[in-house]
Structure 1
């Protein structure tokens, strides 16, 4: 059953970025433009261009306290003698010298990021025009200190054409819904530009005015079915060229494991969507759509029949002390980490912190993780909390304050509590729950070995008096 009205309400209330945030974002961008135009950055500014999900109108509301990103390109004329890195470094300097922005600035490889406290990030990147060839645009790679060709206007035009072909704004709506599934389930990694491109490739000019995109649920079903068919025909990671620049392969944003995981979960969610559409009764359809979108879908409805019973069973299973049973992995893979009860954090073999708590314990300590095939590997890929991973390679864990500021190493040190669960780990007496020093700086490397739902937690300790000042939420590592 389509439940068109329920899906429309769900998008308006939960998925779409609300108008208040859009107005605030636009105001901040205008202030940023004014500041940069009057600064001593150096390059002569031609114009500003919206880019990414913001420009494509596929931006969604952040879930679980996450952030929404807005991308802004600043198109500039070349400066004689400047290297690619210089454009980005000088842009960072200009913002760091501002009393308004200096505490919000982070400089990355291609852009400067301004992070606000209310779940909003604005990435601003230099776009150099006509440097060596008339009409050619280039972004600046600070790490490699090279210019890289970019065609943002052509890519945005490609996106808009796909939306026209689908009709009823269906491409954008389906893209937002699939992004929401990605963010709420946390079962696969796929950066937005790659995901949007894959979805766009499932729509052609001959789709215009056909029944395949007649309404939002039908459009979602069509896109997921076509995407699944395309992926199932490609067991090995394929190329996904930038439709505006064939020399750029967006699939490089994945490693092989992440591609395989994405392929598997698209197949699973395609089946769930088909079941929701095929449901005969409204009650059954709501339950099946909730399996796809989570508890926010049709939340005013009392019908929870199918999924609610399964989730209740899963939570009972977990509360019964089943942390080391293999069935736990399947439950978390199917339903996400939201099904894990709070009591799971206190596993008996965990050591308790030995540090005396400070007068205030900060909870804005945030862990991030990047996957690599080897500890010394250079190609690392970001991993989401609770993302299903294979028993090979490993993770580099890092910790920041409010996702922006580094832990002040001169004042504090970090200890990592690593807790293993799962029958194999326990049988081999490797069900750790103790504290460990960082491997490098404040980062910790952990190999992925044993099936289970494991946890990494960061504890920040003040050097001057050995008091505990910060604790992160657990980062769940699900090894299949």
Structure 2
């Protein structure tokens, strides 16, 4: 029986949802731009409105280096205006106002206003000038160099919100999965993902079960296809939302779905809360909450077994001209395609992962880089795995690494373990890094000092 992680998923949803100060900032920018458009084009209040993820209730905080945005539609274009002229006219009007002049960026389907970054990422407002349509759709939107195309943004927003709370939760979580997995970030557009989720999502209350079944259903639906499917706009059946989905991006998306199914199935089969949490973090990123090492009682134990430089016949003569610090990352994904930074004393890493350590050195002359691992705690001690020796860097396959500044380790024993790098020149240790603390948990092995 799967462990109960309902509280974790609830906290995860809160962690990835936009809040203060982003939402007030988005609302303020939307009001300012809307008021400008209403006055500049002399159009009625209802002719400027929100579209996109914020309006649909599926907006999430961006991951590192990402952006969040507000999308606005302005019904402000006459029937005989070309698409390029409509976009150029909107751009001209923004540039004529000192509040927007420096923010304007030309995009193919819109005019973008870029704002200063904040603590979660970049922020921009995208504005699309549209006109009334004469066909099946209520509106037409421009695309620079391609003319007009039918669109129904308000109707699509109503469709999204009508799908219910489970749909909105699932879309947000899968959008975060997409953002966390590097090869998925550009593999599928949000609107395509949303419609596919609506087609494949079961009506199940438990988040873990619903996400798992959605992954399974998506993979089953797409895996047998040799080309991107037709994904019709649910409010505009003449529009194929996947019309620009390339073969390469589609194939990448299916591969990542296959891996996601495997991870989710493992998480659902796990009987250990920490193991299940770790697997969901593989899929959904570090915003999925995990128990802290402190709450599990972790602390660095005795490491007097660690070899000293003198044991190797080296003298310790620190030289201020030399310095070394180490950074670390966990290798994530079954194909090792994603690395994520890991800080000293960071969250618990489950046994069976790989860690990459990198020595950042400053040295006026050549030095040799050596490494040292000192495991602590009862699990490593009882398994004769305390280590402590000073050694040359190893690669990810445990062979000698030609790059002395890079060392790979496998996680194995429950406890708080230590890693450091030493700079050696002429049998003298001229600099050592601070001990780097790695917290590891192995299934069925609670921490014992």
Same fold (TM over 0.5): yes
2:87 aligned with 1:88 = yes
Residue pair 2:139, 2:152 contacting (<8 A) in 1 also = yes
Residues of 2 paired with 1:9 and 1:329: CA distance? 23
2:269 corresponds to: 278
Q: Aligned-pair distance for 1:341?
A: 5.9
Residue pair 2:139, 2:151 contacting (<8 A) in 1 also = yes
Question: Which of residues 200, 203, 214 is equivalent to 1:202?
Answer: 200
Q: Aligned-pair distance for 1:58?
A: 0.5
- What does 1:337-376 align with in structure 2 at a 5 Å threshold? 338=341, 343=358
> Which ranges of structure 1 fall in alignment gaps of 5 or more residues?
164-168, 306-318, 321-326, 347-480
1:262 corresponds to: 253
Residues of 1 paired with 2:150 and 2:359: CA distance? 49
Residues of 2 paired with 1:96 and 1:108: CA distance? 15
2:336 aligned with 1:332 = yes
1:185 corresponds to: 181
2:249 aligned with 1:250 = no
2:148 aligned with 1:147 = yes
Residues of 2 paired with 1:149 and 1:135: CA distance? 6
Question: Which of residues 125, 128, 139 is equivalent to 1:125?
Answer: 128
- Single out whichever of 108-117 and 291-300 deviates more from structure 2: 291-300
- What does 1:273-422 align with in structure 2 at a 5 Å threshold? 273-302=264-293, 332-333=336-337, 335-336=338-339, 338=341, 343=358
2:19 corresponds to: 18
Residue pair 1:191, 1:253 contacting (<8 A) in 2 also = no
Residue pair 1:137, 1:149 contacting (<8 A) in 2 also = yes
Q: Aligned-pair distance for 1:22?
A: 1.0
Residue pair 2:222, 2:254 contacting (<8 A) in 1 also = yes
1:115 corresponds to: 114
Q: Aligned-pair distance for 1:94?
A: 0.8
Report the CA distance shift for 1:95/1:35 in structure 2 as closer, same or farther (over 3 A): same
Report the CA distance shift for 1:336/1:198 in structure 2 as closer, same or farther (over 3 A): farther
Residues of 1 paired with 2:80 and 2:33: CA distance? 26
Question: Which of residues 160, 163, 167 is equivalent to 1:171?
Answer: 167
Residue pair 1:194, 1:250 contacting (<8 A) in 2 also = yes
Residues of 1 paired with 2:360 and 2:198: CA distance? 41
Residues of 2 paired with 1:272 and 1:329: CA distance? 9
Report the CA distance shift for 1:244/1:338 in structure 2 as closer, same or farther (over 3 A): farther
Residues of 1 paired with 2:244 and 2:82: CA distance? 25
Report the CA distance shift for 1:299/1:282 in structure 2 as closer, same or farther (over 3 A): closer
Q: Which one has the bigger helix percentage?
A: 1
2:99 corresponds to: 100
Report the CA distance shift for 1:336/1:201 in structure 2 as closer, same or farther (over 3 A): farther
Q: Aligned-pair distance for 1:298?
A: 2.1
Question: Residue deviations 1:14-44, cap 9 Å, x none?
Answer: 31111421111011100111122222x5877
Residue pair 1:181, 1:293 contacting (<8 A) in 2 also = yes
Residues of 2 paired with 1:341 and 1:91: CA distance? 50
2:65 corresponds to: 65
2:62 aligned with 1:56 = no
Residues of 1 paired with 2:31 and 2:110: CA distance? 18
Q: Aligned-pair distance for 1:108?
A: 1.4
Question: Residue deviations 1:256-305, cap 9 Å, x none?
Answer: 11111100111111221121122112122122222222333224423999
Residues of 1 paired with 2:156 and 2:359: CA distance? 45
Residue pair 2:111, 2:126 contacting (<8 A) in 1 also = yes
User: Whose Rg is larger?
Assistant: 2
Q: Aligned-pair distance for 1:135?
A: 7.2
Report the CA distance shift for 1:81/1:75 in structure 2 as closer, same or farther (over 3 A): closer
Question: Residue deviations 1:225-262, cap 9 Å, x none?
Answer: 21111112324322212222233222233211111110
Residues of 2 paired with 1:127 and 1:257: CA distance? 32
Q: Aligned-pair distance for 1:68?
A: 0.9
Residues of 1 paired with 2:234 and 2:103: CA distance? 34
Residues of 2 paired with 1:257 and 1:176: CA distance? 24
